[in-house]
Structure 1
Amino acid sequence: MTEQTDIEMVEVVSSNIHSVGYDADENVLLVRFHGGALYRYLNVPENVYRGFLEAGSAGAFLNTEVKGKYEYEKAG
């Protein structure tokens, strides 16, 4: 799969996560980690992305609200 560079990525304050982005047309949440890995979480509602941006801890939000709830694939 090719990397989605046309999606705006927003940096978050996290020891593990570098930035997140959202493709509203495809309902895809993008998560880039500090090591460079990029993951696509599929069929994620936009309100989950907004919650990610407002979360006090991006890592905790990913673990409690995204992982295990949405299918994902490594994109880069």
Structure 2
Amino acid sequence: MESASIASVGYDGMTGTLEVEFRNGGVYQYIDVPKRLYWRLMSADSLGAFLNLEIKDRHETRKVR
């Protein structure tokens, strides 16, 4: 996984929580993300673009750091 804006991605399939660490140090959790959407994110040509279009503003977000 390589991305200009995203450092790492984690996913908890039991809770549907997607956690994204950005290269600027911010960490966010996106709630109730279906597993199929996580797999689409991980196979996207651009993680940042996919996150912006398909996940942000469509799922509850928690700032972790």
How many residue pairs end up in the alignment? 65
The correspondence of residues 16-31 of structure 1 with structure 2, limited to 5 A, is 16-31=5-20
What CA RMSD, in Å, does the superposition of the two structures yield over aligned residues? 0.8
User: Structure 1: any 5+ residue segments left out of the alignment?
Assistant: 1-11
Q: Distance in 1 between matches of 2:14 and 2:27?
A: 19
The residue number in structure 2 matching 1:60 is: 49
Tell me the equivalent position of 1:69. Answer: 58
1:43 equivalent among 11, 32, 44: 32
What stretches of structure 2 of length at least 5 have no aligned partner?
none
Greater helix content: 2
Scaled by the length of structure 2, what TM-score is found?
0.93
Tell me the TM-score normalized by structure 1: 0.81
Identity %: 42
